[in-house]
Amino acid sequence: MDKNQFLQSFAEQFDDVDPSSITTDTKFKDLEEWSSMVALMVIAMVDENYNKKITGADLREANTIGELYDRLNSRS
Protein backbone atom coordinates (compact mmCIF):
# COMPACT_ATOMS: atom_id res chain seq x y z
CA MET A 1 0.00 0.00 0.00
CA ASP A 2 1.35 3.39 -1.02
CA LYS A 3 0.56 6.02 1.57
CA ASN A 4 0.24 8.93 -0.85
CA GLN A 5 -1.91 6.94 -3.23
CA PHE A 6 -4.14 5.94 -0.30
CA LEU A 7 -4.43 9.57 0.77
CA GLN A 8 -5.35 10.66 -2.75
CA SER A 9 -7.96 7.92 -3.15
CA PHE A 10 -9.37 8.78 0.28
CA ALA A 11 -9.65 12.47 -0.67
CA GLU A 12 -11.40 11.56 -3.94
CA GLN A 13 -14.40 10.29 -2.00
CA PHE A 14 -15.31 13.84 -0.98
CA ASP A 15 -17.11 16.26 -3.30
CA ASP A 16 -16.73 19.52 -1.40
CA VAL A 17 -13.44 19.08 0.41
CA ASP A 18 -10.33 20.51 -1.33
CA PRO A 19 -8.04 17.46 -1.79
CA SER A 20 -4.96 19.59 -1.13
CA SER A 21 -6.29 20.41 2.35
CA ILE A 22 -6.29 16.71 3.30
CA THR A 23 -3.18 15.17 4.87
CA THR A 24 -2.47 11.98 6.75
CA ASP A 25 -2.97 14.01 9.97
CA THR A 26 -6.49 15.04 9.00
CA LYS A 27 -9.07 13.87 11.51
CA PHE A 28 -11.44 12.61 8.87
CA LYS A 29 -14.48 12.17 11.09
CA ASP A 30 -14.32 15.89 11.94
CA LEU A 31 -14.69 16.91 8.29
CA GLU A 32 -18.06 18.51 7.68
CA GLU A 33 -18.74 16.28 4.68
CA TRP A 34 -17.95 13.04 6.56
CA SER A 35 -21.07 10.86 6.68
CA SER A 36 -22.09 7.21 6.67
CA MET A 37 -22.27 7.49 2.86
CA VAL A 38 -18.67 8.74 2.59
CA ALA A 39 -17.63 6.03 5.06
CA LEU A 40 -19.19 3.40 2.80
CA MET A 41 -17.38 4.90 -0.20
CA VAL A 42 -14.06 4.66 1.65
CA ILE A 43 -14.87 1.05 2.57
CA ALA A 44 -15.68 0.25 -1.07
CA MET A 45 -12.56 2.09 -2.31
CA VAL A 46 -10.28 0.10 0.00
CA ASP A 47 -12.00 -3.13 -0.98
CA GLU A 48 -11.61 -2.34 -4.68
CA ASN A 49 -8.06 -0.93 -4.64
CA TYR A 50 -6.43 -3.03 -1.91
CA ASN A 51 -8.74 -6.02 -1.49
CA LYS A 52 -8.90 -5.28 2.25
CA LYS A 53 -11.93 -4.96 4.50
CA ILE A 54 -12.40 -1.89 6.70
CA THR A 55 -14.28 -2.91 9.82
CA GLY A 56 -16.47 -0.89 12.13
CA ALA A 57 -13.66 -1.01 14.68
CA ASP A 58 -11.22 0.50 12.14
CA LEU A 59 -13.50 3.47 11.64
CA ARG A 60 -14.21 3.88 15.34
CA GLU A 61 -10.63 3.60 16.52
CA ALA A 62 -8.69 5.42 13.81
CA ASN A 63 -8.84 9.19 14.18
CA THR A 64 -6.60 10.37 11.37
CA ILE A 65 -6.28 9.14 7.81
CA GLY A 66 -2.72 8.08 8.65
CA GLU A 67 -3.96 5.93 11.56
CA LEU A 68 -6.49 4.26 9.28
CA TYR A 69 -3.74 3.63 6.71
CA ASP A 70 -1.49 2.09 9.38
CA ARG A 71 -4.22 -0.24 10.59
CA LEU A 72 -4.89 -1.47 7.06
CA ASN A 73 -1.25 -1.64 6.05
CA SER A 74 -0.40 -3.84 9.02
CA ARG A 75 -2.79 -6.48 7.71
CA SER A 76 -1.71 -9.00 5.13
Partner 1 sequence: MTNKTPFSLEGKHILVTGASSGIGLSICRAIAASGGKVTGTARRSELLDNMVRELGRNRASFIEADLSLDAGIEKVTAAVPEINGLVYAAGISKLVPLKFIKRQQLEEIMNINYFSMVLLLAQLVRQKKIVKNTYSSIVLISSVAQQIGTKSSLLYTGSKGAMSAAGRVMANELSLQKIRVNTIEPGMVQTAMASEMEDILSKETVEQDKRQYPLGYGTPEDVANAAVFLLSDASKWMTGRSLTLDGGRYSLLD
State which of residues 8, 44, 73, 75 lies at the interface with partner 1 (CB under 8 A). 44
Question: At closest approach, how far in Å is the CB of 68 from partner 1?
Answer: 13
Are 68 and 22 a contacting pair, CB within 8 Å? no
Pair 17, 31: CB distance under 8 Å: yes
Among 1, 24, 31, 39, binds partner 1 (CB under 8 A): 39
d(CA 5, CA 57): 23
Q: How buried is 74 (Cβ within 10 angstroms: 0-12 exposed, 13-18 middle, 19+ buried)?
A: exposed
State yes or no: residue 40 binds partner 1 (CB under 8 A): yes
Residues 6-25 close enough to bind partner 1 by CB under 8 A: none
Interface residues toward partner 1, by CB under 8 A: 29, 36-37, 39-41, 43-45, 47-48, 54-56, 59-60
